[in-house]
Amino acid sequence: MSRALSPLASFRAIGAYVPEKILTNFDLEKMIDTSDEWITKRTGIKERRIAAEDESTSDMGAKAAALAIERAGIDKAEIDLVLCATVTPDYFNMPSTACIISEKLDIRNVQALDISAACSGFVYLLSVAKAFIESGMKKHILIIGAEKFSSIVDWTDRGTCILFGDGAGAAIISATDKKEEAFVDVHASADGGYADFLVTPSPGSVNPMNQKSLDEGLNFVQMKGNETFKLAVRTLTKDVKEILETNKISAGDIPHFVPHQANYRIIKAVGDALKMREDQVVLTVHKYGNTSAASIPMAINDLYEAGNLKYGELMLLDTFGGGLTWASALLPYAGK
């Protein structure tokens, strides 16, 4: 075992929560002009989870977080930072969803904040948590990706409503002095030149909430699907190749490739470009759809609960979303 002189960040535990209600492609056939065949062929999605009307993003995030804390085997009083990634916060302006989750978990007097990086949110949080830990400022950070995407979807728009689902995932990132437990690398990047590819125009300072913005449906997510698709494949392939090359790790040596679960065709294209075997690629898109910032931690949780994630095994994460933002991470699982 090799020890580091300054603190390193480690991925200590995972948790997730999925709402009970399942919305299948056959249910969608009854709502809009689509078919199970089209959705399956173009996206790989068969069903997605939808939160109850009275279930908020923070409700889901708190449940995922409670599980991660329990599995980490730490006392919640040891947590010194709470970070939440979401684009469907409980309230659009304030308070932050991280503050509300802290209250629901009775985590008191710690810094709590949200970040907005859409589907890339969870991997963005890994980079933020890494920096806080390595600077010595924090020791146990609770990070959460939670989304009630159904609350911003236009259920008459077949180009978007078939894709998204609700859910939450959370992790505990802790300081360690063991090099074999430490994050290897995190890349996070953005290009605001593509801001209009994925946008929820209102509410905000550009389009404040008023009758006009509601009448025009500006409160719903709008997506240039096909353009986003092509850019996602190009950008992710390049980004993932770069992180592997920089760290001199071959794709064949990664036990777990956990890509953002947006569309099976994107996952397949990137996996094929890296020559990944099927058994390396974690897939949940068929059962959860795209849950934005919750997608990666929900997928890691599935891997864990299936008994397939062991201490020290390397994970390669990649994600892409509104902003546009993208990110990838290489890190071992450091939990039990």
42 binds ligand UT7 (CB under 6 A): yes
CA angle (19 as vertex; 13, 24 as ends), nearest 5? 125
30 binds ligand UT7 (CB under 6 A): no
Smallest gap, in angstroms, from Cβ of residue 18 to ligand UT7?
18
CA dist 307 and 309 (Å) reads 6
Residue nearest to ligand UT7 (CB): 225
Does an H or E element contain 147, and which?
strand 140-148
Q: Which of 21, 22, 29, 34 binds ligand UT7 (CB under 6 A)?
A: 34
Q: Are 60 and 148 in contact (CB under 8 A)?
A: yes
In whole angstroms, the minimum distance from the beta carbon of 32 to ligand UT7 comes to: 7
Asked whether the beta carbons of 15 and 169 are under 8 A apart, the reply is yes
Site string for ligand UT7, 213-252 (x = CB under 6 A): ------------xx-xx--x--------------------
Identify which of 51, 57, 67, 56 has the alpha carbon closest to the alpha carbon of residue 142: 67
Closer residue to ligand UT7, CB minimum distance, 8 or 50? 50
Active-site residue identified among 119, 161, 256, 263? 119
Round to whole Å and give the CA distance between 14 and 72.
Answer: 8
CB-based contacts of 278: which residues, under 8 Å, 6+ apart? none
Minimum gap (Å) between residue 221 Cβ and ligand UT7? 10
Residue 283 beta carbon to ligand UT7: minimum distance, rounded to whole angstroms: 15
Residue 52's nearest CA partner among 170, 214, 167, 220 is 167
Check: CB of residue 322 under 8 Å from CB of residue 164. Answer: no
Q: Which stretch binds ligand UT7 (CB under 6 A): 6-14, 33-41, 100-108, 203-211?
A: 33-41
Question: Could you tell me the CA-to-CA distances from 303 to 199, 204, 246, 292, 299 in Å, in that order?
Answer: 31, 37, 26, 18, 6
**Does 263 qualify as catalytic in the annotation?**
no
Q: Any catalytic annotation for residue 290?
A: yes
The residue (of 254 and 262) whose beta carbon lies closer to ligand UT7 is 262
Give catalytic status of residue 210 as yes or no.
no
Residue selected from 123, 142, 171, 262 as contacting ligand UT7 according to rule CB under 6 A: 262
Map residues 91-130 to x or -, x wherever contact with ligand UT7 holds by CB under 6 A.
----------------------------x-----------
CB 309 within 8 Å of CB 300 = yes
Q: Which of 99, 161, 260, 301 is catalytic?
A: 260
| Residue 295: closest CA among 329, 261, 258, 255 | 261
Give the active site residue among 25, 263, 290, 301.
290
CA distance 173 to 275: 30
C-alpha–C-alpha distance, residues 32 and 212, integer Å: 25
Active site residues: 119, 260, 290
Using CB under 6 A as the criterion, which residues of the chain lie in contact with ligand UT7 when the complex forms? Answer: 34, 38-39, 42-43, 119, 158-159, 162-163, 198, 225-226, 228-229, 232, 262-263, 266, 290, 320-321
